[in-house]
């Protein structure tokens, strides 16, 4: 059960917690393929084919385990490999990634996310802790967060306890004084539990819980979290 009296800060996941990520990535990949059509049609064909696109990404993941925490680098190197396979100019990898990244920052918040962030930020310091490559400032949410930690910049990804502990340190509190909120059972909930935090599982789609360890609470949206914490607009 959640002990609200101990909470001095909140860390939040981003993708699939504040916005759905699948439509964002689908649109960004379409925009990337359209850009490549004119610049490198061979690579564009690879990215338009889901199995070929997945195979290129997997080849990068397997050959560059050092990039496992950095989704931007994996994406950039996937573009570079597709260009190489198509015998096209690999120097296009950087501008192509820039095209993808701009579109990746165009997110559509869940309806509850904006009002809930405003309410949460009025009562607690908020820290974004994400394995993804979204930038809270570029997506228009920077005003709500005291700090933002990404696996790409930090060098370690959830569920590694170090990134959770860094989130606590960023606002000067102990891990036991932090509530972590996220949608992923393993990366968010189990990772934060292992790091010594209280956790809330954001279960928007009625998934079943599959682990022995339990979150301190489960909510279906972020306004339900605000209500659980006793916050009022």
CB half-sphere exposure, 114, CA atoms < 13 A: 7
Residue 233 lies in a domain: no
Total number of domains constituting the chain:
2
Q: In this structure, are 98 and 113 located in the same domain?
A: no
What DSSP element (H or E) covers 73?
A: helix 71-85
Residue where a domain terminates, one of 82, 104, 126: 104
Domain that holds residue 69: 22-104
Q: In this structure, are 164 and 139 located in the same domain?
A: yes
Residue where a domain terminates, one of 80, 104, 128: 104
How is residue 176 written in tokens?
């036991």
Q: In this structure, are 147 and 68 located in the same domain?
A: no
| Closest listed residue to residue 11, CA positions, set 186, 145, 140 | 145
Q: Please count the residues of the chain.
A: 233
CATH code for the domain in which residue 85 is found: 1.20.120.1600
What DSSP element (H or E) covers 97?
A: helix 93-104
Residue 156 lies in a domain: yes
Residue 195 lies in a domain: yes
Residue where a domain terminates, one of 77, 104, 131: 104
Q: In this structure, are 59 and 94 located in the same domain?
A: yes
**Is residue 128 packed enough to be buried (19+ CB in 10 Å), middle (13-18) or exposed (0-12)?**
buried
Distance (Å, whole) CA 97 – CA 94: 5
| Closest listed residue to residue 141, CA positions, set 159, 155, 121, 123 | 121
How is residue 28 written in tokens?
């960004």
CB neighbours of 156 closer than 8 A, spacing ≥ 6? 69, 162, 163
**pLDDT per residue rounded down to tens, the chain (233 residues):** 899 999 999 999 999 999 999 999 999 999 999 999 999 999 999 989 889 999 999 999 999 988 888 888 999 999 999 999 999 999 999 999 999 999 999 999 999 999 999 999 999 999 999 998 999 999 999 999 999 999 988 989 999 999 999 999 999 999 999 999 999 999 999 999 999 999 999 999 999 999 999 999 999 999 999 999 999 76
DSSP 8-class letter at 65: G
* The model's pTM: 0.91
Residue 134 lies in a domain: yes
Distance (Å, whole) CA 181 – CA 189: 8
């Amino acid at each position: 059960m959640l002990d609200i009296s101990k909470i001095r800060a909140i860390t939040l996941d981003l993708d699939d917690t504040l916005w759905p990520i699948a439509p964002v990535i689908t649109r960004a990949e379409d925009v990337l393929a359209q850009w490549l059509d004119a610049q490198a049609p061979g690579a564009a064909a690879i990215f338009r084919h889901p199995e070929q696109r997945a195979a290129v990404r997997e080849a990068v993941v397997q050959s560059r385990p050092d990039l496992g925490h950095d989704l931007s680098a994996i994406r950039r190197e996937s573009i570079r490999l597709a260009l190489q396979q198509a015998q096209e100019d690999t120097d296009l990898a950087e501008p192509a990634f820039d095209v993808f990244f701009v579109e990746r920052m165009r997110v559509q918040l869940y309806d509850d996310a904006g009002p809930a962030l405003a309410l949460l930020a009025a009562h607690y310091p908020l820290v974004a802790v994400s394995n993804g490559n979204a930038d809270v400032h570029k997506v228009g949410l920077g005003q709500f967060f005291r700090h933002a930690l990404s696996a790409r910049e930090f060098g370690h990804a959830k569920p590694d306890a170090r990134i959770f502990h860094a989130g606590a340190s960023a606002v000067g509190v102990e891990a036991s004084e932090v509530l972590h909120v996220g949608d992923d059972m393993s990366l968010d909930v189990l990772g934060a539990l292992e790091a010594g935090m209280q956790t809330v599982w954001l279960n928007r789609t009625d998934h079943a819980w599959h682990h022995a360890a339990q979150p301190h609470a489960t909510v279906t949206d972020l306004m339900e979290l605000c209500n659980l914490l006793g916050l009022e607009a």
